[in-house]
Amino acid sequence: TLIAVAIICTSLVSIRVSAQENSDTFNWTREDVSKLTTSINNTAPTINKEELVEITSDSYIWDTWPLQYKNGLPAVVNGYKIIFALSVPKDVLPGKRHDSAEIHYFYSKDGKSWVSGGPIFKDGEALGSRQWAGSALINKDGKVHIFYTATGQKGEETITYEQRLATANAEILTTNSSVTFTNWSDHKVFLEPDGKYYQTVEQTSREESSYSFRDPYFFQDPKTAEEYIVFEANSAGALEERTCQSVSGNVENAKSYNGSIGIVKVVNDRFTEFELLSPLLEANCVNDELERPSIMVKGNHYYLFLKTHSDKFTPGLEAPEGLYGFASSTLVGGYKPLNGSGLVIGNPKSNPYQAYSWMVMSNGTVISFVNYVDVDGKTIEEIGQQAPDYQVEHFGGMLAPSLKLSITGEKTKIIHEKKQGVFK
Ligand code: FRU
């Protein structure tokens, strides 16, 4: 049923968004998360910061993603592999990096040593006051589509947190020693929360710890060739309208936890027409922030992966900072948490913030970045209150050693650690 049509008009390109009801939202429950046990199969080896190498010495990087083909495989353009990462200069305090993030790119011929190409977008062209995570796609005709989060308002003096999904396209120019982007389109916002499936800023109250509508990830379903973008969101509605019937006992403030994974169908190749679907997954009363979702297909299964923080689970749930995943035989509905609870890779107890923002490549290699290491039992909040020197000394801001994962049916296992920056 066609229930709504919205038209967003930016820089002469109009974007059409219709909405489609689908009642198969998967609920990640407290019961699922309560099954969580940690073992060698889902605990990352400890990171030793002394042994690490940065891919750039001028800036911190965190959320990272490769240029990929529509089928999800990392692209090779005239011999170059290309990756994108959120970045700030090193004089920005690690805890403040989200306030001025921009997307930089790096390229490599051997897929091991990376050259920094600097900011991907031309000065002043990107939307928002800063740009957060996304994904990047190269078509057969060589056109590159970048999907990203436009956060805040361009030129704002005080930082705001509204987030929209934005896109721009370009072409790639390579020489023997360089990779550059050229022939840029205008940037345009292609999706904003609708308030029916996905919470708007206006529906979000102060008691809710976070608001999200971000991290667009492109996915083509190999079974149907249909294209989608999945993203991080919150379930729609105001706090007073929500209930937590599924939560037994008195879990403090459980109602304010409304993390969800959104999905929109791409209707045409120019990325100007979309059909908004109801959420793929909701963790209402369970978790408030389900970040950077991605989907891949292996064998008969669709795998949906996301990342979240320990303190985004409702009180009473003990779960590590980690990569979580779900498997189903269909793209929509029927998901089961991997390994019972959903936990795929967690940080070790002794180094609970060592890595974050894991991303699973289709060959089972998982990348992530080094967050805070060796923090002697301090919580992330306490780290933020430490002197700048402490934060800088304990923050990585670089790629973490990659991990190799085996994925079979609804079970996964960390097989071994690989070098930093390895996507294969
Ligand atoms: C995860 C994340 C993303 C967001 C970015 C902002 O590390 O929270 O969801 O796009 O960081 O810096």
Kindly state the percentage of the chain with pLDDT values over 90: 86
Does ligand 1 come within 6 angstroms of the Cβ of 256? no
- Distance, in Å, from the CA atom of 21 to the CA atom of 3, rounded to the nearest integer, reads 8
Does ligand 1 come within 6 angstroms of the Cβ of 292? yes
Least confident of 10-14, 106-110, 288-292, 350-354: 10-14
Residue 13 pLDDT > 90, yes or no?
Answer: no
Q: Are 103 and 134 in contact (CB under 8 A)?
A: yes
Q: Where are the alpha helices (DSSP H) in 360-399?
A: 380-384, 388-394
How large is the ipTM? 0.95
Q: What is the mean pLDDT of residues 96-108?
A: 97
Q: How confident is the model at residue 269 (pLDDT cuts 50, 70, 90)?
A: confident
CA distances from 394 to 56, 59, 64, 100 (A): 17, 15, 20, 20
Give 278-330 as a DSSP string.
EEEEEEETTBS--EEEEEEEETTEEEEEEEE-GGGBPTT----SEEEEEEESS
- Distance, in Å, from the CA atom of 19 to the CA atom of 197, rounded to the nearest integer, reads 10
Residue 14 pLDDT > 80, yes or no?
Answer: no
Kindly state the percentage of the chain with pLDDT values over 70: 96
Does ligand 1 come within 6 angstroms of the Cβ of 102? no
Q: What is the mean pLDDT of residues 265-276?
A: 94
Total count of domains within the chain: 1
Does ligand 1 come within 6 angstroms of the Cβ of 149? yes
Q: Are 231 and 190 in contact (CB under 8 A)?
A: no
Give the CATH number of the domain where residue 185 resides.
2.115.10.20
Q: How confident is the model at residue 2 (pLDDT cuts 50, 70, 90)?
A: very low
Angle at the Cα of 135 (from 300 to 368), degrees rounded to 5? 80
Q: Are 411 and 418 in contact (CB under 8 A)?
A: no
- Distance, in Å, from the CA atom of 87 to the CA atom of 384, rounded to the nearest integer, reads 19
In ligand 1, which atom is closest to the CA atom of 86? 12
pLDDT at 208: 80
Residue 1 pLDDT > 50, yes or no?
Answer: no
Exposure string for 337-375, b = 16+ CB within 10 A, e = fewer: bbbebbbbbbbeeebbbbbbbbbbbeebbbbbbbbbbeb
Residue 30 pLDDT > 60, yes or no?
Answer: yes
Q: What is the mean pLDDT of residues 62-81?
A: 97
Residue 3 pLDDT > 70, yes or no?
Answer: no
What is the Å distance from ligand 1's center to 212 Cα? 10
Residue pLDDT, tens place only, 174-213: 999 999 999 999 999 999 999 999 999 999 988 887 899 9
The 3-state DSSP class for residue 394 equals: helix
Average pLDDT, the chain: 93
pLDDT at 246: 67
Q: What is the mean pLDDT of residues 389-403?
A: 97
Residue 167 pLDDT > 60, yes or no?
Answer: yes
Residue 11 pLDDT > 50, yes or no?
Answer: no
What is the Å distance from ligand 1's center to 293 Cα? 11
- Distance, in Å, from the CA atom of 83 to the CA atom of 68, rounded to the nearest integer, reads 9
Residue 236 pLDDT > 60, yes or no?
Answer: yes
Least confident of 31-45, 199-213, 214-228: 199-213
Residues 6+ away with beta carbon under 8 Å from 214:
132, 133, 149, 151, 163, 165, 231, 232
Residue pLDDT, tens place only, 333-382: 999 999 999 999 999 999 999 999 999 999 999 999 999 999 999 999 99
CA distances from 82 to 78, 97, 240, 396 (A): 11, 23, 46, 21
- Distance, in Å, from the CA atom of 153 to the CA atom of 129, rounded to the nearest integer, reads 5
Angle at the Cα of 207 (from 204 to 208), degrees rounded to 5? 55
Q: What is the DSSP letter of 77?
A: B
Q: What is the mean pLDDT of residues 156-182?
A: 97
pLDDT at 8: 57
Query: 393-397 long-range contacts, Cβ below 8 Å, gap at least 24?
Result: 395/60, 395/94, 395/370, 395/371, 396/47, 396/49, 396/52, 396/354, 396/355, 396/369, 396/370, 396/371, 396/372, 397/54, 397/59, 397/60, 397/61, 397/62, 397/90, 397/94, 397/97, 397/369, 397/370
Burial of 206 (0-12, 13-18, 19+ CB in 10 A): exposed
By most ligand atoms within 8 Å of CB, the mutation choice from 84, 96, 215, 230 for ligand 1 is: 215
Does ligand 1 come within 6 angstroms of the Cβ of 101? yes
Residue 162 pLDDT > 60, yes or no?
Answer: yes
Residues 6+ away with beta carbon under 8 Å from 77:
67, 138, 142, 172, 174, 179
Domain residues for the domain of 25 are 2-420
Does ligand 1 come within 6 angstroms of the Cβ of 339? no
Give 323-351 as a DSSP string.
EEEEEESSSSS--EETTTTSEEEE--TTS
- Distance, in Å, from the CA atom of 180 to the CA atom of 165, rounded to the nearest integer, reads 24
Q: What is the mean pLDDT of residues 206-221?
A: 92
